Structure 1
Amino acid sequence: MKAGTVTTGIAAAVIVSAGLSGCTSGAAVGKKAADSAQTLVSTLAKASDEASKAGSAEVEMSVTMPDTGGKPVQLNGVYSWGNGLAMEAEMPAKDLHMENLVADGTITYRVVQGAYYFGIDPAPSGPFAGKTWLKIEPSAVLGEKGAAGMNTGNNDPTAGLKALKWASDVTEVGREDVNGKSSVHYRATVPADKVDGAGAVFDAVGGAAATELVTDVWVDDKGMPSRLNQTFGNVAVHIDFFSFGLAKDIAVPPAAETGDITEAVKNGRSTQG
């Protein structure tokens, strides 16, 4: 596997799991203003608070960016933010350009303690012979500035709703069904200079210059987010929440079974053979 061939897929995986998580808000375009902006902000802030307390959720997520050619890179799994960001999910190996590393076409993906891990079949040869996990630091893909941008703000994927204090045109779109949940759809825009860290992240992956972050959020009848969509220029992130409060221990893979490809990716070297 050539390190350079996986950069696009890894960048998408990094962004889909954390890229916009602490940067956004929720609410709507101008079909009709429902109540006052202050009331809407209060509603969404409450949804954010309740989701934050849950600490984790089962999610389906995707990201679309220029280097993916308009094709979403997807993952399904558990997202945890109670004690720092953590995730365990399944991803199509082809989305990561790692299909030659697994027989079944699926990569197990973990985010733990700020690093990204990809479960593979035992490598038959090369510098990582016998390893079953590959580790990468976000700086290898996003550069130091982009990686620092990812650490700005709160890693709770719902915390961005609090950014509504910077939002404009906060309105209610209407009621819609989201995965069987009756939900109210909101949208808001946040000026780019108020979006913590996202500009550096998307500059690093070739995102177009953006003047605003547009966020749509759907809140169900229990006051919890059921869907969150975020668009910053030509980069888009989509999250569906299926359940909250799932207890799952997401462990760092054993060091003896892990090969660190951070420097290989930075330098464009081969990670095998």
Structure 2
Amino acid sequence: MKHTRVSAWAGITVAALAATTACGSQAAQKTADAVSHADTIMAALTRASDKTKALGSAQVETTTRLTATGGTPISMDGTYSWGDGAALDVQMDTKAAQMQTLQDDPKLTVKMVDGAYYYEIDPQADGPLKGKHWMRIDVAAVMGETGANNVADNADPTAGLRYIGASKKVKDLGEETMLGKKTHHYRGTVGAQEINASTNMTAAEKKAAIKALGTSGGSMTCDVWVDGEDLPVRMFQRGGGMEVTMDFLKFGATKPVEAPPASDTGDLTEQVQEQRDQSLGQ
């Protein structure tokens, strides 16, 4: 196994997994001052967020494109749940994840559960993955403690529908057909200026919100298409050198995501952590 490739494909996979909390931040859920039309929009977005949060899970399809590098889109489809913490059970393209050295199948199963990522692999001849069908990496080893906490604390993928209310640049783009459904299209853009202008946030909340935006390059644009049942059909985020699309195919009634057997899992957390520390000069 080529350990030098660990941080490369782990980083790409995490970029795709970031779609789950792309528009979310608990630190910035209070809305800013807004004109009346924005208040109406926020009421609609809040209804969508509340209803989605209560359902707790969905079958999803996501696509992530690293715009900064012109990278190939990374697609995933499967189950995402947020009712009892963030959890994923999805399939993605093995080549896009740069996992060909560990998985011959063109499709790769990826799970995120209990603070760790699990990748289904072919058993290796030696090393920590010898004879194992799964590879485990702590979320914190790849994203750092702050990033891992953000995933854990912001599991609901629609929490950020309140977040974009911190922007006066929120728009109602009217009715559109999306994935065969009649929907209403909304868009909001948030940056440090909008956060600082808010009179409904404390100084500490503003500081935390701006820090959260730092992971999106200092600003973020989020589009959402909401159907007649006040549920999101598609969410799209642009910011931080990424474009992320999440389609909600079906809500609720998904199977719980379970970690693979420990006896059939090799742990590469330490190796990934070491490479991350080296890349950060630690």
Structure 2 length-normalised TM: 0.80
Unmatched runs of 5 consecutive residues or more in structure 1: 26-33, 203-208
Letter in 2 for 1:22: G
RMSD: 2.6
Shift, 1:66, TM fit: 5.6
Match of 1:20 in 2: 22
Match of 1:222 in 2: 229
Task: Tell me if structure 2 keeps the 8 A contact 1:149–1:196.
Answer: no
Letter in 1 for 2:50: D
Letter in 2 for 1:120: I
Q: 1:70-81, aligned counterparts within 5 Å?
A: 70-81=71-82
CA distance in 1, matches of 2:95, 2:158: 29
Task: Tell me if structure 2 keeps the 8 A contact 1:59–1:240.
Answer: yes
Task: Tell me if structure 2 keeps the 8 A contact 1:64–1:72.
Answer: yes
CA distance in 2, matches of 1:219, 1:35: 20
CA distance in 1, matches of 2:113, 2:266: 15
1:189-208, Cα deviation, whole Å (9 max, x unpaired) = 12246547644645xxxxxx
Shift, 1:129, TM fit: 0.9
Q: SS at 2:127's partner residue?
A: coil
Shift, 1:81, TM fit: 0.8
Shift, 1:234, TM fit: 1.6
Shift, 1:215, TM fit: 0.5
Unmatched runs of 5 consecutive residues or more in structure 2: 29-34, 196-205, 277-282
Match of 2:163 in 1: 163
Shift, 1:16, TM fit: 3.0
Paired-residue identity, %:
39
Match of 2:89 in 1: 88
Shift, 1:11, TM fit: 2.2
Letter in 2 for 1:86: A
Match of 1:42 in 2: 43
- Which 4+ runs in 1 deviate beyond 6 A? none
In terms of mean alpha carbon deviation, does 40-49 or 100-109 score higher? Answer: 100-109
Q: 1:162-241, aligned counterparts within 5 Å?
A: 162-192=162-192, 195=209, 198-199=212-213, 201=215, 209-210=217-218, 212-241=219-248
Match of 1:135 in 2: 136
Shift, 1:268, TM fit: 4.3
Q: SS at 2:96's partner residue?
A: helix
Task: Tell me if structure 1 keeps the 8 A contact 2:164–2:222.
Answer: no
Distance 1:243 1:45, change over 3 A: same
Match of 2:52 in 1: 51
More helix by share: 2
Q: SS at 1:42's partner residue?
A: helix
Task: Tell me if structure 2 keeps the 8 A contact 1:12–1:63.
Answer: no
Match of 1:28 in 2: none
Task: Tell me if structure 1 keeps the 8 A contact 2:93–2:107.
Answer: yes
Task: Tell me if structure 1 keeps the 8 A contact 2:119–2:135.
Answer: yes
Letter in 2 for 1:57: A
Distance 1:252 1:243, change over 3 A: same
Shift, 1:41, TM fit: 0.2
- Matched positions, count: 253
CA distance in 2, matches of 1:164, 1:23: 10
CA distance in 2, matches of 1:170, 1:268: 40
